[in-house]
Structures are given as C-alpha cells and as structure tokens.
Amino acid sequence: MSTTSIPFSTLIREQTSVFPALADSDVVLERRDAENLVLMRDERYRAMAGSLRLAARSLALVAKADRGLAEEVFAEELPWLRWLPADDREQCVRDLLGELLAGAHTGLFMPFARSLVAWQHTAEAWSDPATAARLTRSDDTADAVALSMPDSGE
C-alpha cells in the first residue's frame, strides 16, 4: 500500500482534491506544528486492524506453547534483545506480547510502542559494559547518611 503526503492546509482549503487520493493510497496530512495525521478508507483500516489482531493472537499462542520459539521470532525482528540478561529477555517478550495483544483487542497501540522503546533503551544500557557493571554492582551502604527533607519555608 502506498501513501500520499499532502499538506494539512490543502485538506482545509480543497477537501475535494484530497479525498480521491484515498481510492489508491492512504493520505498523510503533514502538519507544521503538530504530529502528522493519516487518513485511510474504513475498509483498509478494518483489514489492517483485523490482520494485526490475528497476528498478535497467533504470536501469543505460539509464545504460550513454546516460549523459546516466541523469543526467536522476537529476536529475529528485535536483535537488541540479545543485550538483555536472560531473565529480562523473558520479561521483555512477555511484556511486549501482552501489550501487543491488548492493543490488538482495543486498537490502542501506544502502550506497546512505549514499552518497545523502553525495553530497547534498557537493552542499550546493558550493551555498554560500564553501564552494565554499574547496574550489577552492589553498593556498600555502610557509609550512607540519612537525609531529611528540606524545609519548604512555609
């Protein structure tokens, strides 16, 4: 499926010139001061959402039957998973599958997208040996000093 990009102002000024483009493609409305918007025909949207639901449910079933296979599938698409410790890798796959399945049922995919970014950043932190060492060391708190809350001045 192709996409056509059109300035948002064109939709405001010339609506009739934008809608015919939807026959053959989705339309990205480019906005200067805000996030772009996407227009698509309902038929294509329903096909995409239905396909995503089926794929998410299928992947969840695979993960339930064979966790290792699900990890392999994710690792193929998300090679940064290898940087996570084994326990975190399992938790990551579990979290992402859960968010993806919830999104497939509700149509809300931002939680999945946020979780995906958060796990990738976590993996990137583990990929750096110095950061990984700081994450795994146990700090000796024998010299720690308790701090009191500062006076708010009220």
- pLDDT tens digits, residue range 43-89? 999 998 888 888 888 887 887 788 788 778 888 899 999 999 988 99
- pLDDT tens digits, residue range 88-128? 998 998 889 888 888 877 878 899 999 999 999 999 999 99
**Cβ-proximal residues to 44 (8 Å cutoff; 6+ apart), any chain:** 1, 26
For 107: left if phi > 0, alpha if psi spans -120 to 50, otherwise beta; the answer is: left
Architecture of domain 2-40: 3-Layer(aba) Sandwich (3.40)
Phi and psi torsions of 85, nearest 5°: -60, 155
Are the beta carbons of 7 and 30 closer than 8 angstroms?
Answer: yes
Mean pLDDT of the chain: 86
β-strands 2-7, 25-30 pairing: parallel
